[in-house]
Amino acid sequence: MNPTQDHYMSMAPKAPHRNEPRYIIIHHSAGRDVPAKTIHQWHLDRGWHGIGYHYVVRKNGSVETGREESQSGAHAGPDYNNRSIGICVTGNFEENDPTPDQMEALAELVLSVSEGYEIPPERVLGHRDVSATLCPGERLYKQLDGLRDTVGTGHINRSPMLEIVERIQGDLAKLREMLE
């Protein structure tokens, strides 16, 4: 995984608190597939120290960096902001499903963060687990068990449908070789 390094926080003053991640908290943008830079501007406009999340996972599966991991986030309230990594998945998952690319990128990211800070599966939470909110939307929230399985087993559980598609693509490639 190669998160896009844009260092949005360099545009803003340093956040006042250090972060000691013990949780991973998942959000949705509740709207369009916007870049981290746009979220950064929204959060500056609210008077925050720039983007409140540490990562943004886009619909095409790219991962963009927000606030530095070592800095307290602004995404889950005072009880969790300075002891969690905040990940925003773009989209509104009350209305739509996350894309397969997004889920795969999210799984890779959550796995790598959980390994880095030795965060156990039960500490991978949705925003609604810690605050009165619909975030990260029902259709993403119901996939968090799968993410916790990934963290528990240490490898990504690929969806059966994705494996079928890849097998068909492999067969087609072989067929093409035979025909040439």
Number of residues located near Zn ion, criterion CB under 5 A? 3
Task: Please tell me whether residue 159 adopts helix, strand or coil conformation.
Answer: coil
Q: Does 127 bind Zn ion (CB under 5 A)?
A: yes
Q: Does 67 bind Zn ion (CB under 5 A)?
A: no
Question: What is the chain's percent helix, strand, coil content, to nearest 5?
Answer: 40, 15, 45
Which range touches Zn ion (CB under 5 A), out of 48-56, 64-72, 99-107, 124-132?
Answer: 124-132
Choice from 27, 49, 54, 123 touching Zn ion (CB under 5 A): 27
Tokens in use for 165?
A: 């598609």
Q: Provide the angle, in degrees to the nearest 10, between the axes of the packed helices 144-153 and 100-117.
A: 50
Query: Toward Zn ion, which CB reaches closer, 97 or 156?
Result: 97
Ranges within 153-172 binding Zn ion (CB under 5 A) = none
Instruction: Quote the least distance from Cβ 53 to Zn ion, whole Å.
Output: 9
Q: Does 148 bind Zn ion (CB under 5 A)?
A: no
Which range touches Zn ion (CB under 5 A), out of 55-63, 89-97, 120-128, 156-164?
Answer: 120-128
How do beta strands 124-126 and 23-28 pair? parallel
> Please, what sign has the CA dihedral across residues 136, 137, 140, 146?
positive
Q: Does 135 bind Zn ion (CB under 5 A)?
A: yes
C-alpha to C-alpha distance for 69 and 85, rounded to whole angstroms: 7
Which range touches Zn ion (CB under 5 A), out of 26-34, 43-51, 53-61, 102-110?
Answer: 26-34
